[in-house]
Amino acid sequence: MNDINRTHNELEQRELQHNGISKERKNRCILLVGLSKTGKTTLMRVLADPQHVPNEPSLRVSSATTPSCYEDVCANSTTISLTVVELPSTMIDSNSDLSNINKECARLGIDNFHLICFCTTIDIGIRDQDVHAFERFLNHFDDYVTN
């Protein structure tokens, strides 16, 4: 782990020397989508800190019913600032109205995403419910995705 930390710190210092500290950051929005226990929160933490290692393997189940919005998620040396919206699994399961995603993102003041990450776990293969949720999501947002 010390080698990883040392290498990361060296790369971060090189990046700071190359880009400078005062350079203005570009803001990008990322949407994390997936059913529960698929790694959305872990992915967000790794984006914030590439050295992040969970304390112990765990599959936390969130009881959230509205999206979580995290602003200025980024490593210190980067010139990109991320706004990450994490959707709770209840917003994309088979019983949900996907138009609520649009409403909630508008409530958060976000009308465009630069990247959409659909998270799934493949420890026992790709689950049918993940495929179904992904298909529903793509069908609902087809116009947004293709534009």
CATH number for the domain including 101? 3.40.50.300
pLDDT at 59 (0 to 100): 55
3-state secondary structure of 146: helix
pLDDT of the residue at 29: 92
| pLDDT computed for residue 25 by the predictor | 73
In a domain, 135, yes or no: yes
Whether residue 9 lies inside any domain: the answer is no
| Residue 6 forms part of a structural domain | no
* Residue 13 covered by a domain: no
In a domain, 2, yes or no: no
Lowest mean pLDDT among 3-7, 20-24, 117-121, 140-144: 20-24
- Residue 16: its H or E element: helix 2-19
Residue 3 lies in a domain: no
Residue 87 lies in a domain: yes
Residues of the domain holding 27: 22-146
Asked whether residue 17 is assigned to any structural domain, the reply reads no
In the chain, how many domains are there?
1
Chain centroid to CA 90: 16
Q: Cα–chain-centroid distance for residue 73?
A: 10
Averaged pLDDT for residues 60-79 = 72
Q: Take residue 84 and report the two structure tokens written for it.
A: 């990450």
**Dihedral angle computed from the Cα positions of residues 39, 40, 43 and 49, in that order, rounded to the nearest 10 degrees:** -120
